[in-house]
Amino acid sequence: MTINCPMLLSVNVGANFLRRFKRFLLVGSCVLEEHPEVAKEYVKNRVCLHICLETFHMNMAETKLACIVQLHQPKELLVLTADGSPHCLQLHVIAEDLRRYCLSPEVKHVVIEHGHPYVISEAAVKTARHLHSIQQLLDERGSAKPLQDGSQSC
């Protein structure tokens, strides 16, 4: 099965294929190249769009996706990316912004680590935006390493 997944910024907002399904898949471009077998599982019965935020600024992607969501009113937006990539993380942030500001659609997050997909919660995406929250979680687990002299400053 070949994945039909155009680049987000190259599609016309009113394109007919965007009406095919009410479920959308936003996938990091690297996933299509590095993990096509995982992508194939998620593209079923979804409109697929890909983008690499290493190449384009997230604001461009967010604006285009917001227009598409407003026009086509999908019921679901699933974001599928590589885990550990700061660029891919931005796709999840964009989706949460759309959830917050467009009041639709249902947003789901999946990341791929070592070839395996993992479902990620909305809370995890929100926490990833706030380093102080991550630091608090690490401190609670005892995983944080204090500075050599024990001070809080750099």
Q: What is the pLDDT of residues 67-93, one digit of tens each?
A: 999 999 999 999 999 999 999 999 999
What is the model's pLDDT at position 101? 85
Average pLDDT score over residue span 18-44: 96
Helix (H/G/I), strand (E/B), else coil: 89:
helix
Distance CA 93, CA 122 (A): 9
Average pLDDT score over residue span 113-122: 97
Distance CA 154, CA 37 (A): 44
What is the model's pLDDT at position 141? 86
What is the second-level CATH architecture of the domain 8-141?
3-Layer(aba) Sandwich (3.40)
Average pLDDT score over residue span 110-133: 95
Helix (H/G/I), strand (E/B), else coil: 35:
coil
- Specify whether the CB–CB gap between 102 and 69 falls below 8 A: yes
pLDDT digits over 1-26, tens only?
Answer: 578 999 999 999 999 999 999 999 99
- Beta bridge partners, 82, equal 112
Q: Where do the structural domains in the chain lie, given as residue ranges?
A: 8-141
Half-sphere exposure of 49 (CA within 13 A, CB side): 27
In percent, how much of the chain has pLDDT > 90? 81
Least confident of 54-68, 76-90, 91-105, 106-120: 91-105
In percent, how much of the chain has pLDDT > 70? 90
